[in-house]
Amino acid sequence: MTESDQELTTFQENRTILLSVLKRHPAYLLSTAFIISYLLYSLVSTIYPGILPYDPTKVNLSKALLAPNWQYPFGTDVVGRNIFLAVFFGAPIDAVASVAIIITAVSVGVISGAIAGYFGGLVEEVIMRVTDVFLSFPALILAVAIAAALGPGLLNAVIAIAAIWWPVYTRLARGEALSIRNQQFILAAKASGVSRARIVTSHVIPNLLNPIIAYATADVGNVIILFSVIGYLGLGAQPPRIDLGRLVFDGQNYIQFAPWYPILPGVAIFVIVIAFALLGDLMTELLSPRMRK
């Protein structure tokens, strides 16, 4: 069988597995479509911020605190701004920031975990003890402390969360590397004189990525929650940027007589998180070895 035939066979197998999973779980299809649309919109609106002809910061005091209606699906805030538009413009910031955090955390965690798991000895001990130091602190408290030390701002919030998020991936990657390093193809590479650095980059890391990718997909939702908490505390994106967590904070004082003000942005966060969780479940099924049997 030629290489092109093998690639075609693999593609057909992947397509069959995907269709089978989506047929059994229609919610996965909805969540995937939602996430793809959400990320595409976030990417386009980030690159071309003026592409949408709406102004979510437009003030209209005569329409302050209007209940949700056809014109204002999420109602209006205390100065008459359209809350739906605010959520629509704020969601991409959360998406881009959270994906950037996950990419950074996965990159650092996979490399450090693969090195620790494969090399072992003193190298493993040093990496894992540093990891344990970060994991010994509650993630929220440590992230808030770092963000407060760096100062309010979108970039600082991303740095703060990324700085405490990589240890989880280091542990996951180390566990996978430990199970891989004694496999026959690794022993064959060592016997062939391939350097240890080359083995880690060419053999260990590619073979431990499947569970990491599945976990990371669902983990985006957890990062969005933490990023929203940072924004709620005023340490995230600063005006004129709009942050979903900040929208919840701004509306909390009006929850008794305008409950839609803080609740609906919170619902938007909830929907995004659930969609990423379902997408993570889908990736877990697709990348599971038992699906290949």
Q: Of 117, 88, 291, which is closest to residue 196 (Cα–Cα)?
A: 117
Is 119 contained in some domain? yes
For 184-194, the pLDDT digits (tens) are: 888 888 888 88
Number of domains in the chain: 1
Q: Are 283 and 217 in contact (CB under 8 A)?
A: yes
Q: What is the CATH number of the domain that holds 284?
A: 1.10.3720.10
Is 85 contained in some domain? no
Which tokens belong to 76? 């209006």
d(CA 65, CA 214) in angstroms, rounded, equals 42
Is 125 contained in some domain? yes
Mean pLDDT of all residues belonging to the chain = 85
The one-letter amino acid code at 164 reads I
Is 56 contained in some domain? no
Is residue 6 predicted with pLDDT exceeding 50? no
For 223-254, the pLDDT digits (tens) are: 999 999 999 999 988 888 888 999 999 899 88
Is 223 contained in some domain? yes
For 67-80, the pLDDT digits (tens) are: 999 888 899 888 88
Model's pTM, two decimal places? 0.86
Q: What is the mean pLDDT of residues 282-291?
A: 68
Percent of the chain with pLDDT over 70: 89
Is residue 11 predicted with pLDDT exceeding 80? no
Place of tokens 């204002």: 72
Q: Of 173, 160, 174, which is closest to residue 223 (Cα–Cα)?
A: 160
d(CA 147, CA 156) in angstroms, rounded, equals 6
In DSSP terms, which residues pair with 82 in a beta bridge?
Answer: 76
d(CA 134, CA 136) in angstroms, rounded, equals 5
Helix (H, G, I), strand (E, B) or coil at 82: strand
Residue-number span of the structural domain to which 144 is assigned: 19-48+94-292
Which tokens belong to 47? 């690159």
Is residue 195 predicted with pLDDT exceeding 90? no
For 106-160, the pLDDT digits (tens) are: 999 999 999 999 998 899 999 999 999 999 988 889 999 999 999 999 999 999 9
Is 59 contained in some domain? no
Is 239 contained in some domain? yes
Is residue 289 predicted with pLDDT exceeding 70? no
DSSP 137: S
Q: What is the mean pLDDT of residues 44-69?
A: 80
Is 9 contained in some domain? no
The whole-number pLDDT of residue 272 equals 92
